A and B are shown apart, each in its own frame.
Chain A
């Protein structure tokens, strides 16, 4: 690929790259530095880029991912937190873990969005990253696995776990506004729901 062609292709995705950097770093200045580092590294590695049908975006995200976690690893001086330790351990999917089923269509979406945003911001970086790649960038499991450098099974379990946490948060909201989740048994639901206004 010619140098100019590469630059055109790469710069087209700057908004996506910047959005990813912003969600990972949660700081505009750090995000800007990360994006610049990503593009310079991409330029130096331009000759190694090969189009495999997914475009240049997954490749740029992988460079960004690696650059971000290299910085994180360097910044970590003490032992990791207990939560992080257990988080890593519990990557494996727990058998029989149900996916809550409830009708989100009846919820007030503005209220949901605010709660959803808070819930996402409370997730670990790995979960936020997988949600962004899946939910916003529309990437397939295989692409996400390549970007994050983990097996597809790990991506599926991270996505499942992240969605489970979000679903639980939204399920709590549904109960607050008086909606009954379908997979909660009737005894529990009658104990926890507010009184029927009618």
Chain B
């Protein structure tokens, strides 16, 4: 065998690049003829291991860089449509609308007081009122939310949180002292703001040992039963839950029973593992 071909055969054998039966047979023949070839292959493999050790040591991505990139990626999102109140035609129209609003507000007010537990929140914050989260959601940009999530969870959090592609708009992020002292992300359905979703996120290390969510295992998707009183709160009923990395996620969607598939899609977009749901009683 020609010297060049021999050297290339040894190189490729050491690098796992021999793929065809003919190449493997040629290498076996060469090994039989020249024991030094086997030594050369082993030396190349040891050299590779040494290179991996020397060059492959863990590098810590500067926290500032990671945050900078996440913010830059979030900032690259499409520019929102100019708010209505800035449009020129709005001013005269606004006057007429204002009159109508005054006429209708008493009707709306009486309707709301008869249909929600806490009129202060209004129908747009049903989940907020039930969970005890204050209704003063601050609508924040994706940039700000990214920064808050990174500050709270650091590199543990690498999932995106946008559900835009699934028809839900991100509306805000707040600390939720009622729900495991978590961060809560609030969404509203684009076509129906009355339909909402909330994702609660808490660092596993911050969960009390006797809490039901302390026992979640990574890689499994859970659902709280419809009758659960786990952790003393009914808000968990029907919620999905999972653990990814060191973060526990609880997800609730205000949707009808025929939209279970949609709920599953939303949850998987937020990182819920595939597979059968395990029920938490």
Residues in A lying within 8 Å of B, measured CB to CB = 2-5, 7-8, 11-12, 14-15, 18-19, 22-23, 28, 32, 35-36, 39-40, 43-44, 93, 95-105, 109, 112-113, 116-117, 120, 131-132, 134-136, 140-141, 156, 159-160, 163, 166-167, 170, 182-183
State how many angstroms separate the Cβ of B61 from the closest Cβ of chain A: 5
8 Å CB contact of A135 from B8, B56, B58? B56
Given A19-B59, A183-B36, also A39-B73 (CB < 8 A):
yes
Instruction: Evaluate contact between B165 and A4: CB separation under 8 angstroms.
Output: yes
B225 at the interface (CB under 8 A from A): no
Instruction: Evaluate contact between B17 and A96: CB separation under 8 angstroms.
Output: no
CA distance A166 to B44 in the complex (A): 11
Instruction: Evaluate contact between A15 and B59: CB separation under 8 angstroms.
Output: yes
Instruction: Evaluate contact between A22 and B59: CB separation under 8 angstroms.
Output: yes
Given contacts A96-B4, A182-B39, 11 further A-B contacts (CB under 8 A): A4-B162, A18-B61, A19-B55, A98-B7, A104-B46, A113-B53, A120-B51, A134-B48, A134-B51, A140-B16, A163-B47
Instruction: Evaluate contact between B62 and A159: CB separation under 8 angstroms.
Output: no
B7-46 CB mask vs A (1 if < 8 Å, else 0) is 1101110011100000000000000000010011001101
Instruction: Evaluate contact between B17 and A141: CB separation under 8 angstroms.
Output: yes
Given A120-B54, A134-B15, also A163-B44 (CB < 8 A):
yes
Instruction: Evaluate contact between B56 and A136: CB separation under 8 angstroms.
Output: yes
State how many angstroms separate the Cβ of A169 from the closest Cβ of chain B: 11
CA distance A195 to B227 in the complex (A): 84
B129 at the interface (CB under 8 A from A): no
Residues on A with C-beta less than 8 A from B36 are 101, 182-183
Q: Which of A101, A131, A156, A159 has the most B CB atoms < 10 Å from its CB?
A: A101
Binds A, one of B63-71, B191-199, B235-243: B63-71
Instruction: Evaluate contact between A36 and B48: CB separation under 8 angstroms.
Output: no
State how many angstroms separate the Cβ of B116 from the closest Cβ of chain A: 32
B159 at the interface (CB under 8 A from A): yes
Between A and B, 26 residue pairs with Cβ closer than 8 Å are A2-B269, A7-B73, A8-B160, A15-B58, A22-B59, A32-B62, A35-B69, A36-B65, A40-B69, A93-B4, A98-B3, A101-B39, A104-B46, A105-B46, A109-B50, A112-B50, A116-B51, A120-B51, A132-B55, A134-B48, A135-B51, A135-B56, A159-B11, A160-B11, A166-B47, A183-B36
Instruction: Evaluate contact between A2 and B7: CB separation under 8 angstroms.
Output: no
B72 at the interface (CB under 8 A from A): yes
B52 at the interface (CB under 8 A from A): yes
Residues on B with C-beta less than 8 A from A15 are 58-59, 61
State how many angstroms separate the Cβ of A134 from the closest Cβ of chain B: 7
Residues on A with C-beta less than 8 A from B16 are 140
B76 at the interface (CB under 8 A from A): yes
State how many angstroms separate the Cβ of B199 from the closest Cβ of chain A: 13
Q: Which residues of chain B from 62 to 116 have any CB-CB distance to chain A below 8 Å in the complex?
A: 62, 65-66, 68-70, 72-73, 76
State how many angstroms separate the Cβ of B60 from the closest Cβ of chain A: 8
B158 at the interface (CB under 8 A from A): yes
Instruction: Evaluate contact between B72 and A36: CB separation under 8 angstroms.
Output: yes
CA distance A8 to B39 in the complex (A): 43
Instruction: Evaluate contact between A120 and B76: CB separation under 8 angstroms.
Output: no
CA distance A160 to B3 in the complex (A): 14
State how many angstroms separate the Cβ of A62 from the closest Cβ of chain B: 18
Residues on A with C-beta less than 8 A from B68 are 32, 36
5 nearest A-B pairs in the assembled complex, by CB-CB distance: A135-B51, A4-B160, A136-B56, A96-B3, A19-B59
8 Å CB contact of B43 from A11, A36, A102? A102
Instruction: Evaluate contact between A135 and B15: CB separation under 8 angstroms.
Output: no
Residues on A with C-beta less than 8 A from B160 are 3-5, 7-8
State how many angstroms separate the Cβ of B163 from the closest Cβ of chain A: 8
